[in-house]
Amino acid sequence: MKLPKPLRDFAQKHNFTWDAKANLLYGSWQGYYFTIAQNPSGRPTHIITLSVGQTDGRPSQALSGILGNLQPDYKYLTDFSVDGYQAKIFFQCRFAPQVKTYVQQMDEFIDALCMSLQSAQLVNCCQKCGSPEGVSSCLANSNPLLLCQNCRETAAQQIAEKAGEMKKRRGNFLSGAVGAILGSLLGVAAWVLVYRLGYIAAIVGLIMIVCTFKGFSLFGGKLNVPGILFCVVLSAAMLYVGEQVAIAWEIYDTFRTDFSVTFFQAYQSIPTFMEYDEFRRAVIADMAYGYLFMAAGGFSVIWSTYKQHNVAPTLQILESVTPVAPAASSPVSSESDAGQQ
């Protein structure tokens, strides 16, 4: 994703790095390390993250107060949260023409925030343990973190364990397939129900594919390529089954009193009804919309479940934020060191 022009200028002024893949701006300003995550949709919505504590590694009671004091002055600052050492600040702009003032306000906010942090004598620190030494910024599955060396090692170890488990897990295709069939039957039931209630059943196309995938993984199937193919074909077939049951039921309802047809006879008569243009068109439209919804929502369902089952989590180090050994007692700062001690 490309950065909007005002934000590019902003990044240049602060000498921040833009990671287009992670949708993340990051860097140090006035001695404080910021990551700014941009909404992947490209909307001007940002989450500013920083992790600060006292020089002795204790969390700061003042942080919430500082943000609370600043908030009323910035109308695009919609919310903030403080969790231990880490603060998240949410900026949001509704209308595109305001982007320039929006970015300007974000800029002014960061300046003001740095001043307040300096007067409270807070420093960059590890967001887990609060250590101000040897802190680096990392990306854990595109989630920005500030971690010291110890906490980084622990996190890397956990991730390696998880990746090993993921590799070892073979999954059972057969039991997964049973789960998928059960899940898809729920989808069929939903399709028939929505149809019976007189609504357009198309939206159930999405529910169908979600139920099938959930069933597969819940019953122990590993969603690798064969598993995914099975689920996609099954969902598509079951949507057809759902539509057949729904129209058979409708025929049965219409003719059972006058012609005393059974449900099975109604089902058998579907091909005869399909010879009528209007009837056929309605059925085809139902199915087409159903498949459309399935395809539209299905892609993200498939991608996220595939990732969850096959792509090992990673911990990527972006850059070093504070040095390992405490040189004198001053934290790193590229700016003047006034107010830091």
Binding site for Zn ion (CB under 5 A): 126, 128-129, 131, 148, 151
Instruction: Pick between residue 128 and residue 214 the one whose CB is nearest to Zn ion.
Output: 128
Q: Which long-range contacts (CB under 8 A, 24 or more apart) does 126-130 make?
A: 126/51, 126/85, 126/150, 126/151, 127/51, 127/84, 127/85, 127/86, 128/85, 129/57, 130/53, 130/54, 130/57, 130/58, 130/59, 130/84, 130/85
CB 81 to Zn ion: min, Å: 20
CB 164 to Zn ion: min, Å: 24
Distance separating alpha carbons of residues 229 and 206, to the nearest angstrom: 16
Instruction: Pick between residue 132 and residue 298 the one whose CB is nearest to Zn ion.
Output: 132
Burial of 252 (0-12, 13-18, 19+ CB in 10 A): middle
CB 50 to Zn ion: min, Å: 15
Of 208, 180, 177, 211, give the one whose Cα is nearest residue 192: 208
Instruction: Pick between residue 50 and residue 151 the one whose CB is nearest to Zn ion.
Output: 151
Which ranges of the chain would DSSP assign to H, the alpha helix? 5-14, 62-70, 99-119, 149-168, 173-196, 204-218, 225-259, 263-268, 270-273, 277-310
Instruction: Pick between residue 126 and residue 239 the one whose CB is nearest to Zn ion.
Output: 126
CB 202 to Zn ion: min, Å: 51
Supply angle C-alpha 31, 143, 320, rounded to 5.
35
CB 58 to Zn ion: min, Å: 13
CB 125 to Zn ion: min, Å: 8
Instruction: Pick between residue 32 and residue 216 the one whose CB is nearest to Zn ion.
Output: 32
Instruction: Pick between residue 129 and residue 193 the one whose CB is nearest to Zn ion.
Output: 129
118 to each of 36, 54, 111, 121, 313, how far by Cα in Å? 20, 11, 11, 5, 36
Instruction: Pick between residue 126 and residue 192 the one whose CB is nearest to Zn ion.
Output: 126
Task: Supply 17's token pair.
Answer: 């790095």
CB 147 to Zn ion: min, Å: 6
Strand partners, 136: 147, 320
